[in-house]
Amino acid sequence: MATEAPSKTTRSRTTKASADKDNNASRSSSTGSSGGTATTAGASGATAARSGGKPASTGSAGKRAPFSGTTGALIGAAAAGVAVGLVANLGRKAAVQAPTALAGNWDEALKAEHAATIKLFDALETTTEKNTTKRSMLLMQLKHALAKHALQEENAVYPALREAGQVGDADQLNGEHGYVKQYLYDLENMPKESPAFLAKLREFRAHIETHVREEEDDIFPKLKAKLSPEKNKALTALMNKEGFKLA
């Protein structure tokens, strides 16, 4: 009896089964799992293809090839670069915070920062409408100095004021800091060649000077007198820690 040729349906099923097998092998090669002869062969083939024909894996198909020497060296160099960058950044921050930290107690340190801020106002006031770049650069410096100063006061000194019962003083100073940010915003958004620039700057300086007089002549001395030497020392440390964050 003659053997019948496989029907169209049977051929179709056979072709589908074969395709499924190929797909399984392909999926296995991408996941690296083992699951029979065909799967292992597929995984080995893919690994060999990735490594340019040489089997990179030392054992079963489930193990991935370790980083090549070049990749490992590059990762090592990048990690070393990040570490060097972090150390350099810590050194830079320490240098920025040093004048404040070396100035002494928290109140003396803040006084030194007030004086440095007034010098930046002096420099800005010598500029003309032609010095637009210089104005932008000095304004950037002023903004950074005031942001660091505000963080030190708002995160360390003003809470200590409230703790010592000077709630009204702390709230008043904090409100004045809000207008410091407003002046910075106004100046930043003003054309640097504007004839109104210096007038706004002088208004800002007057606001800062009033605020500084309140802190240095009245509010801070009262707080310092209330705190024990240990508490003053702790406040100095906390203030420097806050300053370091933005240094």
What are the residues whose beta carbons fall under 8 Å from the beta carbon of 19, sequence distance 6 or more? none
Burial class (CB in 10 A: 0-12, 13-18, 19+), 139: buried
Q: Which is nearer to Fe ion, 176 or 186 (CB)?
A: 176
Q: Could you say which residues in the range 98-137 bind Fe ion, by CB under 5 A?
A: 110
Q: Which residue is nearest to Fe ion (CB)?
A: 153
Site size for Fe ion, by CB under 5 A? Answer: 3
Least distance between Fe ion and beta carbon 218 (Å): 13
Is 246 in contact with 151 (CB distance < 8 Å)? Answer: yes
Q: Could you say which residues in the range 60-79 bind Fe ion, by CB under 5 A?
A: none
- The sign of the torsion formed by the CA atoms of 193, 196, 198, 201 equals negative
- The sign of the torsion formed by the CA atoms of 32, 35, 40, 41 equals negative
Binding mask 198-237 for Fe ion (x = CB under 5 A): -----------------x----------------------
Closest CA to 211 of 183, 242, 236: 183
Least distance between Fe ion and beta carbon 135 (Å): 24
Q: Which is nearer to Fe ion, 198 or 246 (CB)?
A: 246
Report residue 100 as tokens.
């404040």
153 near Fe ion, judged by CB under 5 A? yes
Interface with Fe ion by CB under 5 A: which residues?
A: 110, 153, 215
